[in-house]
Amino acid sequence: MLRKVRSFMRLRNIPGADDAIANSEYCIQNPKEQKGTWQSVFPSAQPLHIEIGMGKGRFLMDMAASHPDINYLGIERYSSVLLRALQKMELNPLPNLRFVCMDATEVTEVFEKGEVARIYLNFSDPWPKDRHAKRRLTSAQFLERYDQILASDGHLEFKTDNQDLFTFSLEEIPAAGWHLDACTRDLHHDAVLNEGNIMTEYEEKFSSKGNPICKLIASR
């Protein structure tokens, strides 16, 4: 069983969050209708990178600002969390970034085969109980889903400070038929993998406490 080292993001219902998402120009409604045509929601046709479980959106906003030649889509299940990202976006609109409120289990219904060039997983919920292992975003079940939407030359990037979850992920990747391209258990002291690294809110918080950050890159 994975060790639960902390409570994950405390979620609370925010009145009006659902309405704000439904009325936001930055949040794509009915994402299943966009399957195979995601380039049409952006001003320019460019490689599509997605983050599953994007939280409050800081990572993707920084990525989109740094890489205007790439289109980014943030996926977040919880409306109360997505609302925070929308509020940030309204203050600093980015043409190459959009959001979707949906569950990660639905990615194969939302993206066509090969439509996604890169997948980011950052500080995902560790789901520490063994019976919940299949819910972890790096489980074999999710890797199978990613395999169906990722481009042939695409790859997956995963960061966490949870050592047990990282070990689990390292075991799942080859078992699911994926190839481990690179990994480190101390990202911020790895000169190669840390080059150009953009931190998430969680990454900044936990690294400031001395927690080493783990990262892996995988492909098929």
d(CA 33, CA 171): 35
- Specify the length of the chain in residues: 220
125 in active site:
yes
The answer to whether residues 127 and 2 touch, using CB atoms and an 8 Å cutoff, is: yes
d(CA 3, CA 90): 38
The answer to whether residues 158 and 194 touch, using CB atoms and an 8 Å cutoff, is: no
Exactly one of 18, 62, 103, 125 is catalytic; which is it?
A: 125
d(CA 45, CA 36): 13
* Residues linked to residue 74 through DSSP beta bridges, in sequence order: 51, 99
Nearest to 123, CA basis, from 64, 166, 178, 66 = 166
Centroid of chain to Cα 43: 22
The answer to whether residues 99 and 33 touch, using CB atoms and an 8 Å cutoff, is: no
d(CA 118, CA 120): 7
The answer to whether residues 100 and 21 touch, using CB atoms and an 8 Å cutoff, is: no
125 exposure class (CB count in 10 Å sphere: 0-12, 13-18, 19+): middle
Q: Which residues are catalytic?
A: 125
